[in-house]
Amino acid sequence: MKRKLKIVLILIAISLTGIVIFQIYWSLNAYTINKKIFDSKVIVAMQLAMDRCKKDYFDSVRTVLVKRLSDPSSVITIDTPSRVNTPNNNVNPVLNISFSFHGSVNSNPFQTNVNTYNYYKDMIGHKATVPEVLTEMSFYVPTLMMELTTFLGIDDAMHPSQELSTFIKTHPGIPGNKWPLPKEGIYALPPNYKQADSLKLSRYFTEELQKRNIDAPFILSLPNKGQSEQNFNFHDGETNENVYQYHGFIFLLTHYTRQDEFTLYAKAAIRNPQYAVIKGMMITLLLSALLVLFTIFCFYYIVRTINQQKALGELKDDFINNMTHELKTPIATITVAIEGLQKFNALNDPEKTQRYLQTSRNELTKLNELVGKVLDVAAFERDKITLLKEKIQVDALMNELITAEKAKAAKTVSITYNNRDRVDYIVADKLHFGNAILNVLDNAVKYSNEPADIKIDVYRDGNMIVFSVSDKGMGIPAAHLGRIFEKFHRVPTGNVHNVKGTGLGLSYVKYIAEAHGGQVTVKSEVNTGSQFMISIPM
Ligand code: ADP
């Protein structure tokens, strides 16, 4: 049995370790995956935030252009040249657009054709004004943008910077020496706007993160123009970027060869991303931990049950030993008495016959009690006991029990009875309730040295009536106090049982007390004595 239990324990330990290791393995795996998802969410959020910034920028450029072009001091003239100039016979006539602003007129009118013009007009909507259409078109037609900004004298505001203008003007590598398209990202940050823009970018980034259920602090940095990605570093102490780094880039002026000179970077570093990732996995992790705990509990429960079964098995063995002993003694006594009657002609001696018969009768009563006890336990084991409740006079019942106990006790017994609250009667099953009290009384006598000194008190406690039986006997060790009401449990006294018993009495008492709606409790101290209290409702 012990070896088997050991094997079971080892197997359980192995499988538990396996389960825990696998849970950890899968949790780590899940972490890696979630971390990747988190990373891509952050990158997408950054890109969208930057897109929104760009859109804002274009919107503001649009507003400025439309406002300036709509000003009464700007005059826009659109005329169609003669048929001769149109190759397709008027199908798609060319438009000449000239501007005058405070009296200065552009020398070369800007040329486009009707279809193109209408295309941009339709793009805005049917109510589009001429300044609106021209502004929209300038976003796609660089020459028009150049014309407009130069004409309005706001080219510096439109273009990245003075250095960039100079660079483009003097750089032969730029195709066609054209102005860059705002649509493709003329988005420069004049130094004084940098702070405002980084605030805006930060706000958009926060919003985009929130849309993706990420609530983590970050550091955002917009460096100066012309700084390459490699040189782009946070200052010491700003972030733990060496560990984790997220960055989004605003690629600007991508059409031009030396893009690193004009590439703007925006970079965000999430602080403690591990924490944010773990926070997102909280439910899964908790469930996983709960599962592990639950499994551990199940295993613990199995081991405990096995142990209990083992203990019960041992108790049953003890019980059988005890029972054999208890059954054998009266049987042997009766056998001897009958033999005496038969062999020694005791029949002729009425006094002797009487004595032998009385002995046999006493022993038979003991046997009968024992069998009754076992049968009672068997009955309550199967919940077969039905209580027949009746009104019982307390004093009468107690006197009856005390007399019976004194009669059968094999030692000198003194029993004092005190009905402290003058309790008149109780409603209970006379047979079983009486038996329960008798069991406790029996134990008090059994586990006391001669002369046994026993006190019975009956009193009220709230709406309960308590029957208390105290003795000055050997007492019960604290470790066993909680278990004496279990079936077969006896306080071990080494291998010798100087006091005989089955270990069933108190379990029967407990069952009967509870069946009456009450309970049984015990207070005891080794070598001082014990007190059993059976309470039932009034
Ligand atoms: P038993 O037939 O062994 O008396 P019980 O169920 O009546 O079985 O009691 C269980 C155990 O509790 C006893 O074996 C004994 O060790 C302990 N016990 C019960 N009553 C007393 C008492 N009054 N004093 C000391 N020990 C007691």
Contacts for 437 with CB less than 8 Å, ≥ 6 apart: 397, 398, 401, 467, 469, 534
Residue 281 CA to residue 482 CA, distance in Å, equals 45
Ligand 1: distance of its center to the CA of 430 in Å? 23
Helices (H), 447-501: 478-481
Quote the ligand 1 centre to 448 CA distance (angstroms): 11
Query: Which single residue is written with the structure tokens 């079936």?
Result: 487
Q: Please tell me the pTM assigned to this model.
A: 0.50
Per-residue model confidence as pLDDT tens for the chain (538 residues): 678 888 888 998 899 899 889 889 998 999 889 888 888 888 788 778 877 877 776 777 788 788 888 888 778 888 776 544 445 555 678 888 887 766 666 667 788 888 888 888 888 887 888 888 988 888 787 778 777 776 776 654 444 445 555 555 555 554 444 444 443 333 344 444 555 667 777 888 899 989 988 888 887 776 554 444 444 444 332 333 332 333 333 333 333 334 444 445 566 777 777 888 888 888 988 998 998 899 899 989 988 898 888 877 887 787 777 778 778 888 888 898 888 888 776 667 788 888 888 888 888 888 887 787 777 777 776 667 788 899 999 999 999 999 988 887 878 889 999 999 999 999 999 888 998 999 999 999 989 988 899 999 999 999 999 999 999 999 999 989 988 998 878 887 755 456 777 788 898 899 899 999 999 999 999 989 999 999 999 8
Cα distance between residue 200 and residue 60, in whole Å: 14
Q: Is the CB of 501 under 6 A from ligand 1?
A: yes
- In angstroms, what CA-CA distances link 354 with 31, 329, 366? 91, 21, 18
CA 110 to ligand 1 centroid distance, Å: 116
471 lines ligand 1 (CB under 6 A): yes
Read off the pLDDT of residues 497-506 as tens digits, 9 standing for 90 and up. 567 777 888 9
Strand 94-101 relative to strand 218-221, pairing: unpaired
pLDDT digits (tens, 9 = 90+) for 74-122: 788 887 765 444 455 556 788 888 877 666 666 677 888 888 888 888 8
- 327-362 pLDDT, tens digit per residue, is 888 888 889 888 888 877 666 778 888 888 888 888
Cβ atoms 457, 398 nearer than 8 A: no
State the CB neighbour count (10 A cutoff) for residue 12.
17
For ligand 1, is residue 135 a contact (CB within 6 Å)?
no
CB 444 within 8 A of CB 436: no
